[in-house]
Amino acid sequence: MIELVLVAPEIPQNAGSVARLCAAAKTPLHFIKPLGFSLADRYLKRAGLDYWPHVNLTVWEDFPSFAAARAGRRLVAATAGNRGHAAVPHHRFPFEADDILLFGTESSGLSEEVLAAAHRLVTIPIWGQVRSLNVANAASVVLYEALSRVGVLDAVAAPLEKSE
């Protein structure tokens, strides 16, 4: 099962939006400390609305603890690709059903420690005049591409198409 990780998220509204995304896609979500907000933050809760009971959330003290617990799984780090690291465009990447998708802080992305631990790097092509996408938007783009690639979207769409 694909899992999504926010490493040291800073903005509660973004984290709440990603939590809502994970609830919608039944995708486990991990927050790795330090967090730039309290889990009781009203902005975090508001962005996730009433979906919080449906979020499979685990909070980790640090990245090494998380990585050790997920040893043997492929870590796929999303990066803006502008720090000298070779990254594959997300739409060309061969996602696998057990991938763990890593996303970094809003202000600085993923640390060199996390990038070095990642097995592969992906990026979202940007051709406009922006440095990067909002982390919640990037997580949405990459997660749904990964779910599509491993066949999850076909499996959930079939029952929906029959009911129309």
Tens of pLDDT along 105-126?
A: 988 899 999 999 999 999 999 8
The CA distance from 79 to 89, in Å, is: 10
Annotated binding site for S-adenosyl-L-methionine: 104, 124, 132
DSSP state at residue 29: E
User: With 80 as the cut, is the pLDDT of residue 150 above it?
Assistant: yes
Q: In whole numbers, what is the pLDDT of the chain averaged over residues?
A: 89
CB atoms within 10 A of CB 102: 28
DSSP state at residue 129: S
Q: What is the pLDDT of residue 85?
A: 66
Q: What is the pLDDT of residue 103?
A: 97
The enclosing domain of 13 has a CATH number of: 3.40.1280.10
Q: Is 129 exposed, middle or buried (CB count within 10 Å of its CB: 0-12, 13-18, 19+)? A: exposed
Annotated binding site: 104, 124, 132
Query: Does the reported pTM lie above 0.75?
Result: yes
Q: Is 94 exposed, middle or buried (CB count within 10 Å of its CB: 0-12, 13-18, 19+)? A: exposed
Domain span at residue 117? Answer: 3-163
Structurally, the chain folds into a number of domains equal to 1
What's the half-sphere exposure (Cβ side, CA atoms, 13 Å) at 77? 24
